[in-house]
Amino acid sequence: MAGDAPYKAIVTMDIAIHEVLKTGECAGDKMSLEEMSRYGIKSEKVPVVVKGNNKYECVKNLINKIKEFHDGQ
Cβ–Cβ under 8 Å, residues 61 and 11: no
Q: What is the pLDDT of residues 39-67, one digit of tens each?
A: 999 999 999 999 999 999 999 999 999 99
Per-domain boundaries in the chain: 2-71
Amino acid identity of residue 13, one-letter, is: M
> Using one digit for the tens of pLDDT, what is the confidence trace for 7-45?
999 999 999 999 999 999 999 999 999 999 999 999 999
Q: What is the mean pLDDT of the chain?
A: 92
Q: What is the pLDDT of residue 11?
A: 95
Q: How far apart are CA 65 and CA 57, in angstroms?
A: 12
**Residue 1 reports pLDDT greater than 90:** no
What CA–CA distance (Å, rounded) separates 25 from 48? 26
Q: Can you give the pTM of this predicted structure?
A: 0.71
In which region does residue 38 sit, left (phi positive, over 0), alpha (psi from -120 to 50) or beta (all else)?
Answer: alpha
